[in-house]
Structure 1
């Protein structure tokens, strides 16, 4: 595709995008045909339509498990991160999804983080559409399986944005943000950033008024924040967390119940 005209490159990318959209057998045939290495340079096309079609085609192809290794071997990760930074709204969303798809290969998680994807996902979290934010959250969650990527997310300013999204309580976005916050609370830098961003009152509110799964995620994050911090325990008591924790400790959900009981134990110990 490299020596062909811009029109031909756009038509080729759009054709692959369409063929790979719905059928697994077509995805497998495209992967076996040698199209993947030819598609990779188009991920950095200066023509927005060509770049968008190439990124979406790569996303569609990556849905076939057998294609993920060849996509990685063809050097697609760095150009996908470039598209995540430079593309249209649709391009950015689909680049995030393609990276999410490739991150199911565990070794790719470190590579994607090292190629600079985390700050771009945080930027999408800040300025993207609702769908873009959900895609960014899903990809961040998967990438933050590794400690280094957790550190990168905190350094990129993810925590205040996540706290803001939880506070907005917008359906799936708030719940996904809670999950990512819980992941970042696993490292000291994440816990410190959450305390600085005023996460505790927001998490208490989510624990009181959110959906059941949201309450579970909020308790998990609070548990991590308070495990080794008497200061955070004191803040949690002052925010009125005891009554909702007592209610959760008596709930049917074994996950919420157990975590709420542990957290209550910390707070009662603090009060003695």
Structure 2
């Protein structure tokens, strides 16, 4: 893992990063949440996980030390380490509105008791010192958004792009479309949902796209040369030799999404989660 990272970091004149205090293999240094703006009333991006007292203490420290309040909370997507802390944060900050893009696959669970305002693509938030534009970027999840900080030509990328390693996704086709959309924005810097800041992000974005294309080619080649049909985990054992074993389950999920895309492309077939290459035009 990385060296010790402060829980609270002023990373630009208008951005304070607060770590979610939940480091781990999938969360890296922990979930990055961001207090954005320069005035008395600021915006908070993401809220960490549920009932994390250490995170709430950090957020309270920032609010008290800078003598600021939170006007709006934006949730990048539904995963628990981004939205789980919303009830605790709402109790701490008081009068605020929480915003999130609706999920396409199922209704949002109202179990937090916090009413969510509906985010729309291209919606803008204005606070002193910062203009934030919402971009709908599905793929990691169906409700994922990134925020463009116009004053810095910067992107808060949520889990679409990580500071270290590559991201998991629910739908490969839409994820690739979202990556290309971020390339078109041509940001100077990316502030990710996990991991360190990404300076000069274009090579990283191009790597993400090339990496997914390479994985697809590896899966096809492995299936084409295999004498028997393979499960996603069997493909992981063959292809992901450089990946630590504790990440194999996440890798198998990514492989499954690749296979679903290849199935739509008519290049593979599936029988009982055993996948094989589909030879076209074979008499």
> What is the TM-score of this pair, normalised by structure 2?
0.28
Q: Which protein shows a greater Rg? A: 1
